[in-house]
Amino acid sequence: MNPTRVSTIASAIFVMISSVVLPAKAADVAAGKKTFTTICAACHKLADYNAKSATELQTALKGIVAGKVKHEKKLTLSDSDIDNVVAYIKAPPTK
């Protein structure tokens, strides 16, 4: 079997496995990037969040949206917006 075919089969298997193992709606990194660049980038750089885990970011953002965590700007984000922006912050695509 040639290498291209092997990797095609490997990706197909990966897709099958991940669709079973991962939650039905995976975070959308591209949508997260859009949110980040349109809203957050005015004040934040990605590197600002290096010290925070994805869970800490989720918690902080939920708190900000709910008005429980002080933040310079009021943020209006849905739960999936939060998932997406956190996914982007933690794993920005390398162009």
List interacting residues with ligand HEC (CB under 6 A).
Answer: 35, 39-40, 42-44, 48, 57, 60-61, 69, 71-73, 75, 85
Q: Which is nearer to ligand HEC, 6 or 46 (CB)?
A: 46
DSSP characters for the chain?
Answer: --HHHHHHHHHHHHHHHHHHHS-SS---HHHHHHHHHHTGGGT--GGGGTTS-HHHHHHHHHHHHTT-S--SS-----HHHHHHHHHHHHS----
Q: Which is nearer to ligand HEC, 13 or 44 (CB)?
A: 44
**Nearest distance from C-beta of residue 93 to ligand HEC, angstroms:** 17
Q: Which is nearer to ligand HEC, 71 or 90 (CB)?
A: 71
